[in-house]
Amino acid sequence: MASVVGLLEERELAARVRAERLREEADRVLAELAGAESEWQEWVIARQRVGAVLSVSHAEESAAEAPVPGMAAEPDGVQDSGPGPVPACAAVPSVPAVPPQWPARTVAVWAEGLDARVLRENYRVVVEVLALARRAGGQATRSAAEIAAALGMELTKSSIEGRVRHSAKRLVERGWLAEPSPGRFRLADGPAAAS
């Protein structure tokens, strides 16, 4: 008959082996998650850079196709110079940051003078919740769940992770928010000073 101490040692060993196996699995999953997040960020940067290049390219094409003010094409292809010389600056159109026909799917990078009204509603409300929290109690930080609760959202994984945390992370990337500790968000220094 096995001793009680021997049985306890067997159970202890089995529990330790299981804990070590789970720890190894957790480490593997965390490493895989870090790799996936790194790849995701690389794709975000690539998309932003391609968008910027396309935006500039589109603006340059528009500038090349735009007629010079004061110049009118004649039927035979000869241009009439109009009433007088055209200043050099008149031929340079203002270049929008995003062409107007593109939907505003990107979050504006925060710059002095911008306020949350330039953001789409799903981003703006996150900034407004944190601005209210800051006014109520200094440099208050909030978790995605706390922000979702303040917005009156149903506290489900999809609303917290898929909507609030995603929006907050994007706002951190674009300079609107800061993440002083993992999962805790506050207004970044620039927007905080402006509010």
Whether the full predicted model's pTM is greater than 0.85, yes or no, is no
95 three-class SS: coil
**pLDDT tens-digit readout, 107-153:** 888 888 888 888 888 899 999 999 888 888 766 789 999 999 889 88
| Length in residues, the chain | 195
If one compares 184 and 191, the residue with the highest pLDDT of the two is: 184
**pLDDT tens-digit readout, 65-96:** 555 444 444 444 444 444 444 333 333 333 33
Contact at 8 Å (CB) between 125 and 152?
no
Distance, in Å, from the CA atom of 182 to the CA atom of 191, rounded to the nearest integer, reads: 20
